[in-house]
Structure 1
Amino acid sequence: MAAFRKSPAERLFDGCNVIVLLLLAIVTLYPMLHVLAASFSDSNRLMSHQGPLLLPIGLQTEAYKLVLQNPNLLTGYRNTLTLVIAGTAFNVFMTALGAYALSRKDVYWSRPLMVLIVMTMFFGGGLIPTYLLVYKTLHLGNSLLALIFPGAISTWNLIVMRTSFKQIPESLIESARMDGAGDIGILFRIVLPLSLPIISVMILFYGVGHWNSWFGAMIYLRERSLFPLQLILREILIQNNTDSMMTGVGSLDKQSVSESIKYATIVVATAPVLFVYPFLQKYFVKGVMIGALKE
């Protein structure tokens, strides 16, 4: 059988794809490489440097020492880790409960319920009613719980997980019921163990969402001891508040050191997500496809 040969048009199409993907990779990677190189560069030489930056200029780690000695940043890390771990666990648990209930065929009013749930993707109560709900009704103001409970379930994630649960053969569910298992047992002993890819995707979605979230903290939190990492990062980058890390730095060097601190802070705040992602990446495409396709 003759080997399959691509036509000139197909080879041209493949070549264009390679070029476009390479350009996208460069556009995506360059800002990350620039920030990483700048964070390790000498502060004074960095201020005078013009043009692209791919390698550090005068290798130094002083900016990282100042950043890691900042008590506000360490407190922000602690609060963010608390939000990511506790919040993601609560989010996945609540989403799994809702997705399982909505994926069963014998649930009454499941279709009207789905319509009401989907409507929340297009209509919201607004910031002021939500603020009053959190502060006046739930009494969660100035608490990390205010960043977890109001957004316990993402509608999109609920729909994706519900679709994934529907792919599980109904015969397994019926067999478990014949053996005396209830809905809780079926969910935790059959459905969830068979849905590890989609659970990994949910952990990634919710975890990254909690890690990057700052607006809710800015609205609901008042004490600096409760501020998450991204709110501290916002102060440093947007409000240019680096005074707490300038102890022992001369007045002439403060501006240059401040720039290095900003770059180092970005790296410190971003690195954990970049390290965790490869461990979940192998489940990512599989989980999204399982939750996105319907037989």
Structure 2
Amino acid sequence: MHAQKTRYSFSQALFHLIAIAFCAFTTIPFLLTVMVSISGESSVIQHGYSLFPDTFSWDAYRLIFSGDEIWRGYMVSIAVTAIGTGLGLLLSAMLAHTMARQKVKYRNGIALFIFITMIFNAGLVPWYIFVTKYLHLKDTLAALILPMLVNPFHVFLIRNYFKSLPPALMESAEMEGAGPFYVFAKIMLPLSTPIIATVALFYSLAYWNDWGLALWLIDDRKLYPLQFILFKIQSMINYMSTQGNLVSGSQTLPSETAQMAMVLVTIGPIILVYPFIQRYFVKGIMIGAVKG
């Protein structure tokens, strides 16, 4: 009994050590990013990245937040992420619900049509012409939302999860007189919280991190999202650094520290969403990817 208890204590201690080491491996890079972002540029150039820099400086943050553009970019990105995630999730779930129902006559044809879009596309030039000349989305907030509104991969994830639910639930509701929208909103969605939360995270990350749509479709500076503004700032810093330009005549541009500061500025809002979703993530992605 004593030997068994000793083995159990040793195994538990080993597990705790592994967990602590894993937490350290994931936490130290984040702490390093924070410390480098508030380090002096000269200290980073001379000594490299360090958790204990020689000098501290807020030059990187002063450069990033030097104007009102960055705050306007925050508002644009938040609006695009919230609207795009909500609409994309709703349309994807409705489409997945249609494909998962056995009673829908052409559900396999719809699934094939959506699957083809995962493999083939018309190309960038036809896509750009269609979006700008026919949909007239140039320099509009919709240009940052509509092109990414429905993702085929997310549709199939939700469909597979819907197919794992007992059909008897929907059949009994229909026998009681429930319509398709009632079944979808009151039965399917409440039972599908894990996959809905997972796909919501996918959509929100995609919208929040996107800057390509702004590069192609937005010329109005008031509609620039956060990521595109940071991309322009970083490009400007890199260009001026290669040209040997100086700030205030003696201080070098905060190139390395600005990169780390941009990482923290970017992940700020989105990292607040993840703790509320992560408990659904593993269950949702496993069932949505394997079932069906």
Does the 8 A contact of 1:236 with 1:262 survive in 2? no
Map 1:190-209; keep pairs closer than 5 Å.
Answer: 190-209=187-206
Structure 2 portions without partners, runs of 5+: 241-246
Aligned residues: 276
Query: For the residues of structure 2 that align with 1:112 and 1:39, how far apart are their CA atoms?
Result: 52
Q: Which residue of 1 aligns with 2:35?
A: 37
1:291 correspondence with 2:280 = no
Q: Which residue of 2 aligns with 1:246?
A: none
The CA deviation at 1:241 is 7.1
Q: Which has the higher helix share?
A: 2
Does the 8 A contact of 1:37 with 1:53 survive in 2? yes
The CA deviation at 1:29 is 5.7
Map 1:91-106; keep pairs closer than 5 Å.
Answer: 91-106=88-103
| Greater alpha carbon shift after TM alignment, 64-73 vs 109-118 | 64-73
The CA deviation at 1:125 is 1.1
1:162 correspondence with 2:159 = yes
Cα root mean square deviation, aligned: 2.9
- The CA deviation string for residues 56-103 of structure 1, in whole angstroms up to 9 with x for no partner, is 433444533443343121111111101100110010011011011001
- The CA deviation string for residues 178-217 of structure 1, in whole angstroms up to 9 with x for no partner, is 1211111111111001111111101100000001111111
1:180 correspondence with 2:177 = yes
Q: 1:47 aligns with which of 45, 48, 62?
A: 45
Structure 1 portions without partners, runs of 5+: 244-248
The CA deviation at 1:227 is 0.8
Q: TM-score, normalised by structure 1?
A: 0.83
- The CA deviation string for residues 141-174 of structure 1, in whole angstroms up to 9 with x for no partner, is 1112012112221010000000111122111101
Does the 8 A contact of 2:96 with 2:162 survive in 1? yes
Q: Which residue of 2 aligns with 1:77?
A: 74
- The CA deviation string for residues 95-133 of structure 1, in whole angstroms up to 9 with x for no partner, is 011011001001112112211211111100111111111
Query: For the residues of structure 2 that align with 1:61 and 1:239, how far apart are their CA atoms?
Result: 18
Q: Which residue of 2 aligns with 1:90?
A: 87
Does the 8 A contact of 1:43 with 1:256 survive in 2? yes
| Greater alpha carbon shift after TM alignment, 274-283 vs 218-227 | 274-283
The CA deviation at 1:44 is 3.6
- The CA deviation string for residues 3-25 of structure 1, in whole angstroms up to 9 with x for no partner, is 7xx9xxxx9xx99xx7xxx6997
Q: 1:123 aligns with which of 114, 120, 123?
A: 120
Query: For the residues of structure 2 that align with 1:30 and 1:122, how far apart are their CA atoms?
Result: 39
Q: Cα gap change, 1:152/1:126 in structure 2, threshold over 3 Å: closer, same or farther?
A: same
Query: For the residues of structure 2 that align with 1:186 and 1:23, how far apart are their CA atoms?
Result: 44
The percent identity for this pair of structures is 35
1:277 correspondence with 2:278 = no
Equivalent position SS for 1:79: helix
Paired amino acid for 1:251: G
Q: Cα gap change, 1:57/1:203 in structure 2, threshold over 3 Å: closer, same or farther?
A: farther
Paired amino acid for 2:32: H
Equivalent position SS for 1:238: helix
Paired amino acid for 1:161: I
Query: For the residues of structure 1 that align with 2:176 and 2:22, how far apart are their CA atoms?
Result: 57
Q: Cα gap change, 1:55/1:108 in structure 2, threshold over 3 Å: closer, same or farther?
A: farther
Runs of 4+ in 1 over 6 A off after TM superposition: 22-25
Q: Cα gap change, 1:68/1:110 in structure 2, threshold over 3 Å: closer, same or farther?
A: same
Q: TM-score, normalised by structure 2?
A: 0.84
1:231 correspondence with 2:228 = yes
